[in-house]
Amino acid sequence: MKAMPLSTAAPQAPHKKAPTAPSAPKIIFRTDGRSETLSLAAGESLLYVFFTQHVGGATNATAGTPTPVAPATAAVGDAKDQELKFILQGRQAHIEVIGIDVARTGAAKVKLTIEHAQGDTRSQAQVKSVLGGNAHGEVHGLIKIDKGADGSDAYFAHRTLLLANAAGKEQPHNHTVPALEIEANEVKAGHASTTGTFDIMDIFYLLTRGLSEEQAQQLVLEGFVLSALEKIADVTTREQAIKAAETRLAQLQEIR
């Protein structure tokens, strides 16, 4: 029997499936002050943007117009808690939370919890507050990393700008309660909180550029709040969020 010649063709490498490109994050934009709990499966990504609702003089979050309520000072204890909980249940899950709290009256209380139930998950949460008049705000930020969720990376920050009133008048008030509950090893977790008023040097510089004091303050306010929103990649969500923020900031300045 005649022998068949061996093939001289180069051996074929085993077929490998190309890695799946990460999908764009799901986006949720809330302006109604609702509470909710959401879970993320393996590989899921979520951008969650929310605006608070103040009781006792809130701004209508949908239309951006003042809610007709009797003027009254509301303590934080009078506010209905807005509870937001996010559970990262699968590896490679990622969430980014952006919260905006702008008010001149009333009270708001936010309880934000991010739980890392699996390892190799990431979360970033930031809340920006601008409070004037007699507004009261309270933000609780809890990062919880469960046992075995090694490789988790989490961060929470709350930045507040208070607009001081004339001496003798009630002042706006803010309270931040950050917390960490970590039961895993090899994780990154942190939190930060700052509260302040206008930076005199920033205002002075803008005055030297020809702006009035009111214009300078408005520009600083916009920069403080919008810096958290301008990085939103989705154009529609970014424009909606910026418009909502600008409406509230304009109303805030009307009575100053």
The reply to whether the predicted model has a pTM over 0.75 is: yes
Q: Is 248 helix (H, G, I), strand (E, B) or coil?
A: helix
Tokens 């004037």, located at residue:
132
Neighbour order of strands in the sheet with 153-162: 26-30, 45-51, 94-103, 122-131, 153-162, 188-196
Please give the Cα distance from 25 to 45 (Å, whole number). Answer: 5
Residue type, 68: P
pLDDT tens string, the chain, 256 residues long: the values are 444 443 444 455 554 444 444 557 899 999 998 999 999 999 999 999 999 988 875 333 332 333 333 333 344 444 568 999 999 999 999 999 999 999 888 899 999 999 999 999 999 999 999 998 889 999 999 999 999 999 999 999 999 999 877 666 778 999 999 999 999 999 999 999 999 988 888 888 888 888 888 888 888 889 999 999 998 999 999 999 999 999 998 888 665 5
Whether the Cβ atoms of residue 142 and residue 179 lie closer than 8 Å to each other = yes
In the chain, domain spans? 26-197
pLDDT the model gives residue 75: 45
**CA–centroid distance for 37 within its chain:** 16
